[in-house]
Every structure is written in C-alpha cells, then in structure tokens.
Structure 1
Amino acid sequence: MHGDDAKQTYPPLNTLKPVAENVWLVDGPLIRFGPPLLKMQFPTRMTLIRLKTGDAFIHSPTPLKPELRAEIERIAKPHWILAPNRLHYWWTPDWKAAFPAAEVYLAPRIKEQAGKRIDFPSLPLDRDSGYPWDGEIATISVAGRYMTEFDFFHRPSRTLILADLIENFEPDKLSIGMRLLARLGGCLAPDGGMPRDLRATFSNEKTELRKAVETMIGWNPERIIVAHGRWYESHGASELKRAFRWLLT
C-alpha cells in the first residue's frame, strides 16, 4: 500500500473487525470517483452480519483477499451478498465466484450500470420486507432520481448500515483540495452528512426521504456504519438527526 493510501484509509485493510456481537466490518482500499477534474478519493467499507442460523449477510463487498475469505469461512457461511445502490457493486462478481451458492441481491439500476460485469443470476432489492433476513435485519429503501439506496438495521445489536446516505470524511485523511470539496459537499467530519450533489437528486422526493430518515431514527440505532469515512460508534439516532437537520427542520 502506498503511504498516501495508508493515511487515507483505515488500516488494517481486508480483515474482519468486530463491531458488536455478530457484526463485523472490513475496511477496503481507496477508490476514485467523480467528474474528471473533481475526482475524490473514497475509502471503502463492507459489513458482515452473522445471523442466528450461522449464515452471513454481506453488505457492499470489498475485495475478497484469500486471508479475508479464510477469516469469514471460520465464523460463518456467506449466504446473501448485497449491492445496496448502483455505485456499490464492483466486487460483487468476485464474491459470487468464490461463494456460488450465495444469493446476490442487487439494488435498482445496477445491471444497467454494470453491463457484462454482472453476468450471473441475481435477485432484486425492490421492497422493504419479504426477505429471508427479515427476522433479524430490517430493510428500508431510499429512492431518488439518480439512485435508490437500500439500508439495513440489525435489531439485536442496534446497528444501522448505510452506503452513501451519509459520508463522513476525516480532515486529516484528506489533501487540502479534497478537504475543501468535502466541506463544500457537506460531508466533512465531524459533521458528515448526505453529499449535497446527492441531496439535489432528492429535490422531488423529500417527503419520502424524510419518512425514511424518521423511520431510521425511530429504530433508535446505537451505531451507524457508513461506507466512506469515519463510522459512528455511538449515539446513532442523534447522529441521524444532526446529519439530516436540513431535511427534518
């Protein structure tokens, strides 16, 4: 790993890190995303939840290194692999190849975006209930013009799992230019939130977005795992109210 990459990510990478009972996260490598002259560097993160059956729920998979695969196989059997929005699918084919019996669930527009990269059978994320994990994990859809994101709440540990709905980039992990972009974008820690460009795609769906956020606040999460930047280890409901104050007031 390059020195700059190590500074901007959350080492150690590609290894299970305990979050709560039966919940782990994996910090992944940097990706670069955005318009050609304004590309930002994003640290990546996936979440693994082990259900009572021993089956694993894999959210937003990061690269599947041999060491990580061995770690996972020691604690659980990957049963569901979830790509929660149209931007969070890239490593899904690698996981499906490694665990062919696992079911892949895709958010709307992923097949359109991925093209031939998704060439295997999959199931749709297209509703808020009726999934095999419903007993332990609640599902909620957040639909905007650009993308629909599916978010999840692990009831036993009170862990909320988001992808891009909140981003929380730490200043000391960014260059001066990236720090300015994150501040302007409304996603600079400790005041992370929904990026302003993503907010704009919900201009006609604010009522639905507000209902979704209010539902998540009502779940009273203790912690919030986000895919990009520092995650929230405590006071999850308060962090939701802070991050979405522009929407709720």
Structure 2
Amino acid sequence: MSASLKDLLRGNAEERTQRSVCIGGERLNVTLIRSRRRRRKLSLQLDAEGGLVVRAPFAARREEIDGLIFRNSDWIVQRRQELQEQPRHIGFRFIDGEAHLFLGRSYVLRIGADVMPNSQKVAIVDSEMLVQTRSPDVISRLLQKWYCQQAQQHFQQRLAIFSVQLPWVNTVPALRLRRMRSRWGSCSSSGRLCLNTHLIKASERCIDYVIVHELCHLQEFNHSPRFYALMDAAMPEWRECKAELEACGGVIIRE
C-alpha cells in the first residue's frame, strides 16, 4: 500500500518497526509500535507466536524501550515457556487464564461474576479479555456473539474506507459474515462480500489484505495477472500479509 494511502487509512497515527533481541539465550522478534495518539506509557506483550510487541509513545527513547524489555526478561521467558507448553490447534476449553486472540493480539481470558462494574458481558481491559458470567457453560456463546459484533463493526469500517480509496469501487458493497473453516472471504458475482468472522482475531493488516483482495474481485472476478496488478497497486505489501495470515491461520480458526 502506498504511503499516502496508509496515511489516509490510519491517519498516520502509528509507526511500526521490526528488530530482534536476545532474551534467555534465544533471539526474539520485536514489533515496536509508536503511537502519535495521547499514549503516555509503554506496554509489552507476547503475540500468539511468542514474539514481543512493544507499544510506546512516539517520542519514547530507545533506552526506555530496551529497559522495559530487559526488566521484564524473566516474565518473557516464563510466558514463552507457557505458550510453548500450551496445546496448539485444538479446541478452546474456555477457562480462566486461557489465551484468546483479538486483532492480532493475545489476551488472557478472565471469567467471573464481578469482573466488570457494568452490564457488559465481554470487554477488553489492558491485556485481559473479561467475561462477566456466573454460568461457565455460556462462556463460548458469549465470546462468539462478541466476536461477531466486533467483526461486523470493524470490517464495515475498513470496507467503507477502502471503498472510497479504490477507484473501481462505486459504492460500499453489501457485507455478511460467516464462521468458515477454510476461507477468509469471498465475493459473489452480484458484488456481495462475505468475510470469515474468525478474521477479527487476525492483525489489522491481515484483515485489510482480505478486504482489499475481495474488493479487487469486483474489478477482476478471477486470479489473473490483471487481478494481481490491482492488488499490487492497492496494497504493495499484500504478499507479506498473506504469508502472515497463512502462518497463524490454524491458531485463529481453532474453536
């Protein structure tokens, strides 16, 4: 995607860089996200693959960021060990402390009758995904409903933005959601888009990639060289996004 298109879509609010650090004898990938919004604190988390994600104010110094990482080196080693021991690609148990994904970030599931002071059933607070219920057997249903609501809102917003930016899209296409096991999205001959609800667990750039892919099918209803030329023009880094989505797809879709 061109720099100007990125700026329009994200308001130039974030800057992402990649590097690596050595922690506990292992070299870890680090994604640094600098925010121009009113962010005052640095935060650190591990993604689903065990890499580090650091969020920081735009003006944060390298020394501050490195200090945060190395002060938390014991926690990082312990958490990576827990991730490695956690079964992969199997069904969720929906128990307290389990890791769940949302927009590419991993959150710790917290369940209880008094985890939130209001009537919300599900909410993200810092690094935790809170589910307020007295009935453990409804946790799965509450989360599925919440994921669907978040997906509808987020996908519709991104679809509206890209529909304005891509010159061959005249109106925002109709959108429906489905929980699918083998496809991220589809575009019908009538121009209706369908997106996988599970996609809300992927990173924002992966979501954008799928939306752009389906919007390109409005112009080229195939995977011809002309189709890929459209993809290259709209999102030059789409191949990286596709590879990222393929790498984490099994984790995202597991129930």
Common topology (TM > 0.5): no
TM-score (norm 2): 0.29
TM-score (norm 1): 0.30
